[in-house]
Structure 1
Amino acid sequence: MGPDAGGPDPGDPDGITVRDPVSAPDADGRPRRVTRRFPLFTRDTARPEGGGRAASGDAPAPARQWPVLTVVLVVGLGLLLTALGVFRWGTLLIGAALLAGAALRWVVPDVGMLAVRSRFTDIATYGVFGLSIALLSLMAQPDPVLEIPFLKDTLHFTVS
């Protein structure tokens, strides 16, 4: 099968270039746009916006990924505190780490592997999860720091 039939392009060494049948044809009647999509499975994905290195390529790997390493290390410290019995401070630290990840995603142009989806989606996800974890840690029993009356009434209504 040749490239006109939608099969592999003989000029491509991998043999996986597929002509996109929906693009406008050129003067010879062949589609203009060429895509690297394979019909059965994905071989590659696009890098998310801001997913470039956070430091130059000459820097060692940890320095290039400092934003995600910062968030992961603070979450790890929060998990350690939680495991050692300091539940409220540990979970509060986890929530703060996710909020810091949202702030880093917003402020720093290239955050490396901290960029998972679009900038808006990452900020919204890190922010909602971070704020939820921080608020829940402040409301944890015994002796909650933060009391929200309607949540207490909702809990009593659903449990009883």
Structure 2
Amino acid sequence: MGAGTSPADPAPAGRAADEPREPDERDGTTGTAGSAPPDPAMAATDTDTATSTAAKDTDTATDGAATGGRPRRSRRFPKFTRDTARPEGGGRAASGDAPAPARQWPLLTVLGAAGLGLLIVVLDPFDQAFRIGTILIGGALISGAVLRWVVPSVGMLAVRSRFTDLVTYGLMGTLIVLLALVAQPAPWLDVPILEDAVRFTIR
């Protein structure tokens, strides 16, 4: 070998010394010239992913342009109810400075009368206690209907709309009083139609 020259570096087995290396997508490094081509299925998946990402970016840009750069709110209803509207007349029956029982005096009046009637029915301290106690319970519901109609704000006595509460309290109270009056033996109210209906039902 002549002076001034050095032997060339030995080439790796399998490729020429001056052959360039091609990129390898499998490990991110440069591969050999004889490496296998990329998988067509993986290439198609990458293409679909890129297409869907571009479509989402386009939709986001369109929504942002339509709403002036603000994110579009969903039109769906919320999963949970955050609040409910107070029924008509459901405010305090007294001012906020009054004690808690005073603010709910309509409800306490109805509950007290109904509880007293129930106590009379259970204890049966005198004759006709069952009838009188039942009438007192029905009267408590009727008084609740009257309070719902007259008093502007009845507190927790207001459950639904004023019309619905009037019908519910009044109808239930009237039926209870009517049944107490026609109860056997020795009814206080004689209603032949009800007696015929009971006899027809029993027969």
What TM-score, normalized to structure 2?
A: 0.61
Q: Deviations over 1:75-104 (max 9, x none)?
A: 000000010121000000001110100000
Q: 1:75 aligns with which of 114, 121, 125?
A: 114
5+ residue gaps, structure 1: 7-19, 22-37
1:4 alignment counterpart: 72
Q: Shift of residue 44 of structure 1?
A: 1.3
% identical aligned pairs = 66
Q: Describe the SS at the equivalent of 1:80.
A: helix
Within 5 Å, which residues of 2 pair with 1:54-65?
54-65=93-104
Q: 1:40 aligns with which of 54, 73, 79?
A: 79
Q: Shift of residue 3 of structure 1?
A: 4.9
Q: What letter corresponds to residue 96 of structure 1 in structure 2? A: G
Give RMSD over aligned pairs.
1.7
1:122 alignment counterpart: 165
Aligned equivalents of 1:80, 1:48: Cα separation in 2: 31
Q: Which segments of structure 1 move beyond 3 Å, counting only runs of 4 or more?
A: none
Q: Describe the SS at the equivalent of 1:97.
A: helix
Count of paired positions: 131
Higher RCO structure, 1 or 2 (CA under 8 Å, sep 6+): 1
5+ residue gaps, structure 2: 1-59, 61-69
2:175 alignment counterpart: 132
Q: Shift of residue 157 of structure 1?
A: 1.2
Aligned equivalents of 2:71, 2:83: Cα separation in 1: 21
1:32 alignment counterpart: none
Q: 1:152 aligns with which of 195, 198, 201?
A: 195
2:41 alignment counterpart: none
Q: What letter corresponds to residue 148 of structure 1 in structure 2? A: V
What TM-score, normalized to structure 1?
A: 0.77
